[in-house]
Structure 1
Amino acid sequence: MNKAALFTLFSIISTIVLGQEVGDFYGSTDGTESIDLTLGKNGSGSSFKILSSDPGGSTYLKFHGRRWGAGYTWSRESNGGTDKKIAYLYGGGSGQYFQLFHDDQSVKAQFHSNGDTYFNGGNVGIGTNSPSEQLNVYSSSSGVITRFASTAHGGLSGLRVQGKTNDGSDTRFVDFFFDPETYEYGFGAGTNSGQLPISSGLSQADISVDAGGNVSLKGTTTIKGNQIRFSEARGFDYDPTKDAVFFNGYNSGQVAMLSDRYGNGWFAGNVGIGITNPLKSLHISDGSWNNQLQVDRNGNGLSFAPNPSEFYFLPVGETTKVRFNSLDVYVEGSVGIGTTSPSHKLEVAGTIRSKEVKVEATNWPDYVFEPTYNLRTLEETEAYIQSNKHLPEIPSAKEMEANGVQLGEMNMLLLKKIEELTLHLIEVNKENTALRQQLTANSQQLIEQGKMIEALMKKMKDN
């Protein structure tokens, strides 16, 4: 070891251990670099410093130590003569720590004797000298790469990854945790105001998965295979053979099929829309009577609108066409029974049975009995019948088959014929009465003549 090295080592030991002022040293082994050593006082308190400078006199690296305060500084002098701190080691009463500085004199890393260590800016690499993330752990071998361990007894151990929202108003995080007592593990996502734990069996988790892959939600909800159970037997089943979803009631088996591959569904009980206690298979209830039940296809269909005292059927987008109440039925348009294309207000393709039918009539044929009515003679009627094969003013059979019978009009025509027939009967009765009277008079005359003949014959006999 050369003299300079021995003197430097001696000076450092003397300064740190004894606090003695030894003196100054300057030397160079090859004449290209300078080594400066100062021992003894430097400002206040005992100190030492090592200066490494070029032969031209500009100092590039300084090591400065002080016994009182136990501070050690590594600094670099710029061309302008200003020192910039590179590292600092402190050994005071509050604990020992080591700091690394950037050119802007900001602390970029600190290692503290109490275990607190931080890196401020830049990326940290473990197993790599070119980390691409803030923490980059790399290994070319298999097996455990990173281990997070706790020596505490009992409780959960874990890792938290967190960040803030864009506006900085909320902190959000994901926790990964493990229970060494039960081998249960999981993770949870949350914010400042709450957390949703997801785990494998942890009792405090909102969602857990057991060894069989069954999922349990906090409470009584479980997911197992194609089943979701809320409590006991209640829940949903999926049947892959039917591609259908079923709902199970309380110990009552399947009570509804929500949908199969064709969109079909069914319910075993009553269905309520707008009501929680339906009384019928389908019970629709709403406070407004304008709400409608609409059945349509591509916008064309029928709407049903209830009213407190009546209800309506109407085509979609139109006004009332059919209205019902407790006594009456109103239909706008024609009604066909047994026919799909009625040409009259009511058209029935079949028979009608009724106790009574009332037909509105006007111009009832009482005018037949007026003195000015021109009554057709029986001879004229006979000639018309022989020529047309039906009564005057009465439609023929062909006309009735083609056009049907207007009951009101036919009743008036038949009544007119009865009235005309009545007038003919009256005339015949008058003639018969006159004939009877004539016959009675003739009979009385014959009787008188017989009596006279009988008297003459008796008289002649007596003579």
Structure 2
Amino acid sequence: MKRWLVVSAFSALVALSTLVGASAQGVTQSFTYQGYLRQGGAPLNNPSQSMRFRIFATATDTTVLWDSGALTVNVSNGLFTVQLNPPASIWTGADRYLEIQVGSTTLTPRVLIRATPYANTATQLNMFQSGTNNADRMVITHSPAFPNWGLQYQDVGDKFNFVAGSASIMTVDMSMGRVGIGTSTPAHALDVSGDVRWSGVLQGGSVPWARITGAPSFLGGSGTANRIALFTAANTLGDSVIFQSGSNIGIGTTNPTYPLEVSGGMLVNSSTGHLRIGFPSSANQWFFATDGGGANLQLWENAANAIRMYFRAGGNVGIGTTSPIAPLSFASTTGNKISLWGSNASAHYGFGIQANLLQIYTDWNGADIAFGYGSSASFTETMRVKGNGNVGIGTNAPAAKLHVNGTARVNVLEITGADFAEKFPTTDEVQPGMVVEIDPDNPGNLRLARGAYNKRVAGIVAGANGLSKGIVLGNLEGSENHSPIAISGRVWVYADATEHAIVPGDFLTTAERPGYAMKATDLQQAQGAILGKAMTRLEKGQTGFVLVLVNLQ
């Protein structure tokens, strides 16, 4: 049987538990090194792990006494064995330190080597091979001056003995799985010969009966039947406030009707523990209850008895209030009320209250609020409020403040814009306020109006001079970026009054200047080319904006 000394070293990459063995049969320059490697908490498996071993004079010295060079080591289930062959010249009788490198990582701290090949004179550490010719050996001794104090291995019986002056004070019998204190022949898992002093509580076990051998021992005192005993003095027993009646235990009462009944207050106080109530393996449930009808249940905080949650007898629950008026009520204060998701008080999903305002909010302006039916995993959306303020009904990607995918019906529709427009594709580049005509070369398209009294006139590009558009039609797929052309209502138009001044009430038609309007002075020629009536003035010789009431004729 081979015995080893166990040494531990750690690094950021791996944890290494090493077992060093050196023969005690004579001086030799080589020794076997065995160890156990873990990586990421698991045993390492690598049949060709690169390792390197160096020997130094001290734990921090930078001068290498010996370097093994890179070795390829077989590591199986974390275990490895290498034969190290440093020269005999480095063993001078002083301590040496072994440095281990795994791959590119050097483990720290270095391993102290006391059982070196010259250890015939180093009585503090003795390693040996068991066998028929080996007597009991000291594995570790106190010092050369005290050779019979330390740890001894007994080959017969497979025991470790802790000896003091050649006398065994504690024995570990590995063949029987027993420990003896004060005896070298333990007959039980723990066999103590002598006095025992116990401080603390026996955890994870029980001692229903104890048999004391040797001199009589006893505790004095008296008590009442069914009272749990209490040490009233160092060696005296008396009554406690705990009473046992059958299988029921009472604290402060001698007539418990439940397995545990407490008469008085109870404090459960722990910074790390928990009070757990429930049936972990049963369909039945524990419950909190009040004894009398009409009684309320309260959850308090701190010694001031601040009520944090209030369960009213009728079933209503109050959080921060003792007068819940609904199945769930909150304190009458402003601020956050319910947080559905998120750990940041200033950014989360939930509900809040401000003065005359119910708030529904998300954690940032890129998050949306959706309404629908079903469940979270199987949800049919009917309406969405985007983080940017757009509202979609029948669509989850509203492109406007109100985007309805479907039919909308209203009794009265009030629009703040001033015209009625429709989107058309244009072959020319146009700007708001310009007059456009039907493009004869591109069916369905419009272009800048060309020539006076043009009967192909189609309308005016809406949105000029800061006047908002009203109703816009034709927002079909592919037409989103087309220009809205006003065909009715009020718009500003580019006008040319070079020859004739324009006054309110004048009919306007197309001008020679492309995209401009002018006063229609020849009403017979203007038939079919009239844009509408001017609503503002433009003096003769000027060009600029004129407000026009569009009415194509």
* TM-score strictly above 0.5: no
Instruction: Give 1 or 2: higher strand fraction.
Output: 2
Which has the larger Rg? 1
* Superposition TM-score, scaled by structure 1 size: 0.33
Greater helix fraction, Structure 1 or Structure 2? 1
